[in-house]
């Protein structure tokens, strides 16, 4: 059984001076050191040096490069998903923004790589890929559902390890991890296909074209379970103060099961906003909503950049 590690960034004043990190008594720092080693090992097995441009292209999918873009938007997909949906935003969104979609292990060109079962290790893999990409541009994170938690933890780790923060954090269709309304993930190891389908339908976190097709669901069941187990193992206590300083926007559907997204407000000292758009958990895929989100992202990033002058 994988031990559950509680995040120790609940205090905004957290600092650690232990060198090396594995000497620190805090579980967070020991985990960071182990994740660092695991990420390098994963890259080395594939003949890729972690932290290089090659590793970035391996983990981040940028279908539409825009060398003259001012901003970079890093998108984190939902459980069981690949990177293609968000990568295609690069064609639709304003040319001021270059879109990179995270490609999680266990799918697409990373299908042979094992899926990690800890969200902090997952964030560290992403950070290695991010650093060469974001070093010279303003950047923002957007995550949907499962991807929103990964985006949040990646933002925390990026601040802790590299003193970098996204300009804006867009979190879609997700309850704050410390909320009493956060959906509970049951034990999934021995659940039947039909019971698994019922759980996915109830929580609304999987597109209908998968839950309505038993063959397709069976094909994706193992990967979905692995992603959901990451959620199950993720515990984050309510912080006593802001742990980020970037602007934060929560987006959700009017019929979504995710509730009380306003609870996210306390994690940042930056501005906070909520937008409720028509639709269910996958409201984000409706063309009108998608267009609104694209325009809102661009305007938000422009506003934040101009307010800095």
pLDDT at 176 over 70: yes
Identify the pLDDT of residue 21: 43
pLDDT at 40 over 80: no
Q: Span 46-73, mean pLDDT?
A: 80
Beta strands (DSSP E) in the chain are 60-61, 71-76, 97-102, 138-144, 168-172, 247-253, 272-277
Task: Look at 32 and 157; give whichever has higher pLDDT.
Answer: 157
301, burial (CB in 10 Å: exposed 0-12, middle 13-18, buried 19+): buried
Task: Look at 23 and 258; give whichever has higher pLDDT.
Answer: 258
SS3 30: helix
Identify the pLDDT of residue 16: 41
pTM exceeds 0.75, yes or no: yes
Q: Span 255-275, mean pLDDT?
A: 93
Identify the pLDDT of residue 33: 43
Q: What single DSSP character describes residue 246?
A: S
Catalytic residues: 145, 281
Residue 203's pLDDT band (boundaries 50, 70, 90)?
A: confident
Residue 205's pLDDT band (boundaries 50, 70, 90)?
A: low
Residue 52's pLDDT band (boundaries 50, 70, 90)?
A: low
Residue 305's pLDDT band (boundaries 50, 70, 90)?
A: confident
**For the ranges 54-68, 69-83, 184-198, the one whose mean pLDDT is highest:** 69-83
Report the chain's mean pLDDT, rounded to a whole number.
83
pLDDT at 73 over 90: yes
**Residue the block writes with tokens 């997909």:** 77
Q: Are strands 247-253 and 168-172 parallel, antiparallel or unpaired?
A: parallel
pLDDT at 41 over 50: no
**For the ranges 14-23, 39-48, 131-140, 234-243, the one whose mean pLDDT is highest:** 234-243
Task: Look at 44 and 221; give whichever has higher pLDDT.
Answer: 221
Identify the pLDDT of residue 57: 84
């Amino acid at each position: 059984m994988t031990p559950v590690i509680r995040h120790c960034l609940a205090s905004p004043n957290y600092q650690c001076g232990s060198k090396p990190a594995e000497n620190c008594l805090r579980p967070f720092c020991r985990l960071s050191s182990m994740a660092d080693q695991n990420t390098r090992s994963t890259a080395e097995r594939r003949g890729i040096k972690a932290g290089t441009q090659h590793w970035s292209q391996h983990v981040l999918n940028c279908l539409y490069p825009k060398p003259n873009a001012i901003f970079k938007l890093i998108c984190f997909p939902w459980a069981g998903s690949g990177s293609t949906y968000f990568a295609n935003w690069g064609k639709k969104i304003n040319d001021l923004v270059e879109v990179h979609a995270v490609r999680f292990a266990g799918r697409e060109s990373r299908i042979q790589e094992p899926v990690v079962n800890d969200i902090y290790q997952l964030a560290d893999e992403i950070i290695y890929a991010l650093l060469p990409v974001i070093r010279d541009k303003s950047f923002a994170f957007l995550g949907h559902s499962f991807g929103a938690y990964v985006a949040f933890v990646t933002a925390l780790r990026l601040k802790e390890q590299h003193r970098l923060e996204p300009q804006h954090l867009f979190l879609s269709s997700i309850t704050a991890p410390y909320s009493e309304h956060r959906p509970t993930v049951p034990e999934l190891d021995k659940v039947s296909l039909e019971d698994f389908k019922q759980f996915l339908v109830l929580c609304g976190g999987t597109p209908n074209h998968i839950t309505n097709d038993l063959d397709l669901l069976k094909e994706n069941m193992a990967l979905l379970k692995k992603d959901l187990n990451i959620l199950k193992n993720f515990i984050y206590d309510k912080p006593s103060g802001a742990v980020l300083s970037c602007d934060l926007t929560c987006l959700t559907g009017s019929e979504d099961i995710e509730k009380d997204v306003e609870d996210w407000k306390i994690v940042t000292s930056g501005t906070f906003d909520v937008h409720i758009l028509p639709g269910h958990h996958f409201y984000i895929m409706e063309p009108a909503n998608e267009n609104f989100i694209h325009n809102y992202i661009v305007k938000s990033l422009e506003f934040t950049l101009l307010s800095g002058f």
